[in-house]
Amino acid sequence: MTGLRFSKLCCITHYDIAEFVIFFEYFLFFWSSILIVKFLSHFWRMFQRLQKKWGISGAQFWVIFVAFGLTGITTAFITRYITGWIGLSKETFWLWEVLVRIIMLLFGYQVVLLSYGALLGQWPFFWKYEKILLQKLGILKAEKSKSYLKTVNIAIFASGAGSNAANIIRYFKNRLDTKISLIVCNKPGAGVLEIAEKNGIPTLHIEKDRFTKGDAYLPELQKAGIDFVVLAGFLWKVSAALIAGYPNKIINIHPALLPKYGGKGMYGSKVHEAVIAAGEKESGITIHFVNEHYDEGATIFQATCTIDTADTPDQLAAKIHDLEYAHFPKQIDELLAKLAP
Ligand code: GRF
């Protein structure tokens, strides 16, 4: 028996060895592929986490990634050029070369990074990146600003034409720190839904009972990561549930100078008709926090316009809209900066 085994062993030919080598190659190929896939998926997940943390789109992430890559290559190239130009070599004192490299890493790299950032249309991102870096080094005083690149997600509640929503979307379009992430609407076919679709913003249709007497769609808002709510032409009374979910984080715009001409039923042309009928010489807009009573929350901002004797409600509405477009997005922006941790 032993003899047979031994003779079999002795009969190992070079074909057998070749087969074994092939098998071993397959084995290596199989496991290295798995390792590579694991390695790549690890990086992919890391990139996704970064993208989420920075609050940027996928495309933007890759542009920023390329900017970092190009910066590394360019800085290395410039450093080599500078050391050569100064005349540093193996024969010269090594510390000089180290010093040049440190200076290039500390300053040159940042300048190149900002240049690529600007060139690739990512200036706000890289400028903020540099500011944070300087703050961390203690060179720049840490300002009370929004946390680093954490995007504030806004939900706009609207049920009308949505011209204010469109204006706010336009204002924040290229911002990394603020994003219009959801349009909430209770009226099928409302103009604002078309605006949302054009801008690729998800919409949420809401029903009155659940909104006013139920959970006010808090689970959906939280799932969408909403941090702040803006009412822009939304007529339903905001429920206690929503206010509790977003304390001091819901604002509204009213097309008159509150406390006058506000309250239940005071919306759209009704407001302007009442203002004109009362013989007012001026009207305006009020941006205010929302509480459980119609148009009664604390005022954040007001702006006025004059009313000419011949002004019709429609003409006054146009003046008011102009004020809204000029001030509403800016006020949201300023308020978010103040409320930031
Ligand atoms: C605006 O006038 C706003 O003040 C009021 O509703 C109107 C909405 O208009 N709350 P639009 O739908 O944004 O054009």
Residue 2 pLDDT class (50, 70, 90 cuts): very low
Ligand 1 centre to CA of 177 (Å) is 25
Pocket of ligand 1 (CB under 6 A): 158, 160-165, 232-233, 253-255, 320, 324
**What pTM did the predictor assign?**
0.62
Contact in structure between 257 and 304 (CB atoms under 8 Å): yes
How far, in Å, CA of 82 to CA of 97, rounded? 10
pLDDT tens for 53-69 read 676 778 888 999 999 99
Question: What pLDDT is stored for residue 103 in this prediction?
Answer: 87
Q: What percent of the chain has pLDDT over 90?
A: 58
Looking at ligand 1, which atom is closest to the CA of residue 164?
Answer: 13
pLDDT tens for 185-231 read 999 999 999 999 999 999 999 999 999 999 999 999 999 999 999 99
Ligand 1 pocket test, candidate residues 324, 325, 332, most atoms within 8 A of CB? 324
- For residue 283, which phi and psi values (nearest 5 degrees)? -135, -165
How far, in Å, CA of 216 to CA of 209, rounded? 9
- For residue 200, which phi and psi values (nearest 5 degrees)? 65, 35
Ligand 1 centre to CA of 252 (Å) is 10
User: Which residues are tagged catalytic?
Assistant: 254
Domain boundaries, the chain: 2-39, 55-136, 152-339
Structure-block tokens of residue 265: 């039923």
Fold of 152-339: Rossmann fold (3.40.50)
Ligand 1 pocket test, candidate residues 273, 321, 327, most atoms within 8 A of CB? 321
Looking at ligand 1, which atom is closest to the CA of residue 161?
Answer: 12
Question: What pLDDT is stored for residue 147 in this prediction?
Answer: 47
Residue 143 pLDDT class (50, 70, 90 cuts): low
Identify the CA nearest to 292 among candidates 244, 240, 234, 231: 240
Ligand 1 centre to CA of 336 (Å) is 21
Q: Omega into 255 within 30° of 0, i.e. cis?
A: no
Average pLDDT over the chain, rounded to an integer: 88
Looking at ligand 1, which atom is closest to the CA of residue 165?
Answer: 13
Ligand 1, atom 14: closest residue by C-alpha: 163
Ligand 1, atom 7: closest residue by C-alpha: 233
* DSSP states of 178-241: EEEEEEEESSTT-HHHHHHHHTT--EEE--HHHHHHS-TTHHHHHHTT--EEEESS--SPPPHH
Ligand 1, atom 10: closest residue by C-alpha: 233
How far, in Å, CA of 161 to CA of 208, rounded? 20
Reported as half-sphere exposure (CB side, CA atoms, 13 A), residue 233 has a value of 24
Q: Residue 304 in 3-state DSSP?
A: strand
